[in-house]
Amino acid sequence: MSHTPLENFLLQFSHFTPQQLQLINSKAVERTYPTGAYFSEAGQIAREIGFIISGIFRACYFDNAGNEITKYFIDENHFVVDLQSYQYKLPSTEYVQAVTAVQVLVFSERDWQTIGHTIVGWAETERSIVTQALLEKIDRLSPLVNQDADTKYRAFLTKYPKLANRIPLSYLASYIGVTPQSLSRIRKNLAGH
């Protein structure tokens, strides 16, 4: 039996009956975000959870000087939500913006809760998904903190080879903490070797 990307993702964490998968799919609403559109915004309370079918989002914020800083990227076959805002009903501290056109399966808070109340064992599955997502988020953030720009860029290429050519240079530069001009020099030097 062929499964959707969402079903394949969920089946990594638990076994689901066809009826349970049908319930989950019935609660998802497909939505497309054009490049530059926001899935969620700073200052707002997150009320939806998305599963990315295609495309890339970035989590970003503005520093005290008004500079836009990219924290990390979220691509296909990952959930997207500001978890702290969603769970604790706090205003989000970051923006989640489409870097490319993004196709997402969106679950409202009510529908997500319906799934949780209906499917036995959903809480454990959800906990496993959240744990994996948090570990991936830490992995995306932590190795870049104490490295020079060249090392950061090389690490990004190694870890996310399919993302580099899909992300605008300015966002990638912001992610590794350099100007777009510096990133261009790094890329040129790397290509020359």
Mean pLDDT by 10 residues, the chain (193 residues): 90 95 97 98 96 97 91 93 93 97 98 96 94 82 70 88 91 91 92 76
What gap in Å lies between CA 67 and CA 54, rounded to an integer? 28
What gap in Å lies between CA 143 and CA 152, rounded to an integer? 8
What gap in Å lies between CA 130 and CA 121, rounded to an integer? 15
pLDDT at 2: 81
pLDDT at 1: 61
Query: Under DSSP, is residue 122 helix (H, G, I), strand (E, B) or coil?
Result: helix
What gap in Å lies between CA 69 and CA 61, rounded to an integer? 5
pLDDT at 138: 76
Backbone angles phi, psi at 117, to 5 degrees: -80, -20
Query: Exposure string (b/e) for 77-97, b if CB count within 10 Å is 16 or more?
Result: ebbbbbeebbeeeeebebbbb
